[in-house]
Amino acid sequence: MNIKIITDSAADLPKEVLEQYQIDVIPLRVYSEDEKEYLDGETLNSSTLFSEMRNGKVFKTSLPSYDRIHSTFIKYAKENVPCIYLAFSSELSGTYQSTVMVKNEIVEEFPEFDLDIVDTKSASIGQGLAAVKAAILANEGKTKEEIMTQIHHSINHIEHIFTVDDLQYLVRGGRVSKVAGFVGNLLNIKPILHVEDGKLIPLEKIRGSKKVLKRMLEIMESRGVNLSNQLIGISHGDDIERATELKNAMSEMFGCKDFIIHSIGSAVGAHAGPGTLAIFFMNSDNN
């Protein structure tokens, strides 16, 4: 029996990719200023979110509901299907901890339920690439041990390099200090950040948008390994033009051929904001 791969909507994977690799997704929740609840990717899409944010609206996010986690897990417990759940970084969300609690509850009723929950220490398509690679192996009939080995390799070697258009969104979400946000926007400084052990870490400050893209590609060149044979991720905050510019540059510079390009979802986008641009690649041979 094939192993079922499950992730959450913070993985920012396109619907066609989810369908192609038969990956289940549990949506995080997003709340508007009037406390209306939305499900990331189901009842709120990111283009609407970013449009509202540009008009000054503020959104909050929350982990998936207990009911949605429970209904997803219990379905496979009853069918006795082995599962692996790849969770949004525990440093950025309580999703991992919540799913572990629900699993423990279900295992009391279904002690044979074979579910591994993995803290990916990743976000957006960085998390998504780990899920896709796991699903490819699952669909090939690989063992759980083989799939888990691949997942941990992905987690340990996936690079998240990204920039934001307006630091105030990260300030609001507690990701950078108010002083850093104010000074950055005042001087037209565009930060480059990465993910380290699940946390968002500032890497460099660059003045001007064009220089940022050039520098992101330089970092990719210095950190990436065997880039031409990788599946590369690019996510964007309603800015397909710059995402496409990056894709074309990667194809020309590194010979990259396979891409997943998608808008950042509502859960991640509520904190990163419109104009965000992120690239994801491996810093190790993926074997």
Angle of CA points 65, 66, 67, to nearest 5°:
90
Mean pLDDT across 133-150:
96
Residue 76: what pLDDT?
97
Distance between CA atoms of residues 18 and 135, nearest Å: 9
pLDDT higher than threshold 90 for residue 148: yes
pLDDT higher than threshold 90 for residue 30: yes
- Nearest partner of 264 among 61, 68, 97, judged by Cα: 61
**What percentage of the chain carries pLDDT values higher than 90?**
81
Mean pLDDT across 128-144:
96
Residue 182: what pLDDT?
46
Mean pLDDT across 197-217:
88
pLDDT higher than threshold 60 for residue 286: yes
Residue 279: what pLDDT?
98
pLDDT higher than threshold 80 for residue 217: yes
Is the model more confident about 208 or about 81?
81
Q: Which residues, at least 6 apart from 201, have a Cβ–Cβ distance to it below 8 Å? A: 193, 194, 195
Tell me if residue 91 falls in helix, strand or coil.
Answer: coil
Residue 189: what pLDDT?
75
The radius of gyration of the chain from alpha carbons, rounded to an integer in Å, stands at 19
Mean pLDDT of the chain: 92
Distance between CA atoms of residues 133 and 136, nearest Å: 5
Distance between CA atoms of residues 145 and 141, nearest Å: 12
Of 103-117, 173-187, 228-242, give the lowest mean pLDDT range: 173-187
pLDDT higher than threshold 80 for residue 184: no
Q: What is the pTM of this model?
A: 0.93
Is the model more confident about 172 or about 128?
128
Mean pLDDT across 55-79:
96
Is the model more confident about 238 or about 206?
238
Q: Each residue of 187-203: pLDDT tens digit?
A: 667 888 899 999 888 88
pLDDT higher than threshold 70 for residue 185: no
Is the model more confident about 62 or about 169?
62
